Amino acid sequence: MNEKKDFQAHLSDLGTVERILACIEFSKALVSAYDMETLLKAVLERISILIPASNWSLLLRDQKTGDLYFAVTVGLDPERLKGIRLKMGEGIAGVVAQTGKPAFIADARKNPRFSPKVDEVTGFETRSIIALPLHLRGEVVGVFEVVNIENQDFFREKYLPLLNILADYVAIAVDNVRNMQKLQARTFIDEVTGFYNTRYLSAKLDQFIRDIINHGGELSVVFLDLDNFKAIVDSQGHLRGSKVLSEVARVLHSVLGPEDSLVRYGGDEFIVLLPHQNQEQALNVVQALRRKLNSTRFLAEEGVNVRVTASYGIATMPQDAKDKESLLLIADRAMFRCKESGKDCIMVGHSLAPLQEASDRQGQVPT
């Protein structure tokens, strides 16, 4: 409270008035940010104008681990800081995050709380540190660090009140973006299976395709449709049919890797996104999916033990298609051709012919 009164006392200074107006513009920029990338870009651009410091950082707390990571950095190569994490209580920033109290360190090397981790990785020499906690509803969500200020007393008198207010704005903006991300995540989830829906599919495919166009690489898409699912619904009812879909989704997901995505496309159709995987690698994944699905009995808790098979179509970018619509269309056609060929088999898009092996007389991949 005293710091904000001190801040108001500076209003007679023309430069301070200009900084206040810039601060208001800063708050507007943060309020209009609905994703973390836009928010952090606004923080970088605006604070660099408002605060005369050549070395400063914004560290945010990871919501899962609680560790601090470098979200914005000025004066150091951000790429070299990507893998650095500070635990609560580690280093000056970790202590500030843990205690919720600011720290003013004139000689970092002589302070027992100082961690040389960043200096060792980057070759930077930290001499002094001003670190402020970002408070939100009684919790610390991040830390502002201003490093190597030549005249700390002048900085604290002239700019610290402003930085405290900016820290409040940033904390609120970070919370808003994270809440927006949670809401967006819910819109991407299918209510029946608990996995992704078509909204997620469209957004993620656009992202993957941009990466392939800009940086190269491959992406495989798998369309799969459960065989004779209507017969299951007719015999077991709609509620149990929905439960089968949920169980099927969990079984399929158990085979996939951490970068792969399972999407319920609609009805009894699913799509699997396999980034960075060519057609041969995708085929290996689909064969594993088929074996797992065919060997599982569903509705076992109800004592029914339903068997489920599926028909699979694979398409790969850029081998089979150059854009999103063509990629999905080819995978879809491959799946339907598989249906026409007897179901419970796998077909690749480029040939639109069932995969066969010597031991597989009916055009199905062996389990």
Domains 2-185 and 198-354 in one fold: no
Q: Is 64 helix (H, G, I), strand (E, B) or coil?
A: coil
Q: Note the CATH number of domain 198-354.
A: 3.30.70.270
Annotated domain spans of the chain: 2-185, 198-354
Region 173-194: mean pLDDT is 82
Question: How do residues 57-75 score in pLDDT, each as one tens digit?
Answer: 889 999 889 999 998 888 8
Length, in residues, of the chain: 367
Confidence check: pLDDT of 11 > 70: no
More confident residue, 331 or 178: 331
* CA-closest candidate to residue 134, choices 165, 92, 105: 165
> What count of other Cβ atoms lies within 10 Å of the Cβ of residue 295?
10
Sign, CA dihedral 195-199-202-204, equals: negative
pLDDT of residue 214: 87
Tokens matching residue 352: 């639109």
As a whole number of angstroms, the distance between CA 169 and CA 26 comes to 8
Sign of CA dihedral 328, 259, 117, 159: positive
* Topology (CATH level 3) of domain 2-185: Beta-Lactamase (3.30.450)
Measured CA to CA, the distance from residue 315 to residue 166 in angstroms comes to 49
- DSSP H/E element including 100: none
Pairing of the two strands 346-348 and 310-317:
parallel
pLDDT in tens, 297-338: 999 988 888 999 999 999 999 988 888 999 999 999 999 999
Q: Taking all residues of the chain, what is their mean pLDDT, rounded to a whole number? A: 84
d(CA 87, CA 91): 8
* Residue matched to tokens 């604070």: 47
Contact 355/323 with Cβ under 8 angstroms?
A: no
* Residues 136, 171 contacting (CB under 8 angstroms): yes
DSSP state of 159: T
Mean pLDDT of 38-48: 74
Note the pLDDT of residue 345: 92
Q: How confident is the model at residue 137 (pLDDT cuts 50, 70, 90)?
A: confident
Does 55 score more than 50 pLDDT? yes
Q: What is the pLDDT of residues 163-176, one digit of tens each?
A: 888 888 888 888 88
